[in-house]
Amino acid sequence: ILNVEQSPQSLHVQEGDSTNFTCSFPSSNFYALHWYRWETAKSPEALFVMTLNGDEKKKGRISATLNTKEGYSYLYIKGSQPEDSATYLCASNTGGFKTIFGAGTRLFVKA
């Protein structure tokens, strides 16, 4: 994989549903994997930064895992709320400023 790929591109869920997205990234020369949350008309905000294979991070109802050997990360949202509606970006750094952003997964949570 040469690029960072995120799936799905968009996702519609009902309030209370749990959901997850995938970020696939180049597994060679891996340094760090970042997840950002971006609400329309606002600044993207960092959720997690992970560097080690097997890393798991959690922030409230949102958690993420990292597999650097196979080149993927999962983001999980438990009990989605309308305020979780946003675009979730992941970015992989392969050294220095060689950072590749994915196109994002846009989440819509319906009340």
From the DSSP assignment, how many helices (H) and strands (E) are in the chain? 0, 11
Using the rule CB under 8 A, is 104 a contact of other proteins?
yes
Which of the ranges 28-36, 58-66, 67-75, 77-85 carries the binding residues for other proteins, by CB under 8 A?
A: 28-36
The DSSP string of 23-43 is: EE---TT--EEEEEEE-TTS-
Partner residues linked to 10 by β-bridges: 106
Among 18, 51, 53, 81, binds other proteins (CB under 8 A): 51
Q: Does residue 102 touch other proteins according to CB under 8 A? A: yes
CA distances from 64 to 8, 36, 106, 111 (A): 16, 11, 17, 24
The answer to whether 71 contacts other proteins (rule: CB under 8 A) is no
**Interacting residues with other proteins (CB under 8 A):** 3-4, 31-32, 34, 36, 41-46, 49, 51, 89, 91, 93, 95-97, 99-104
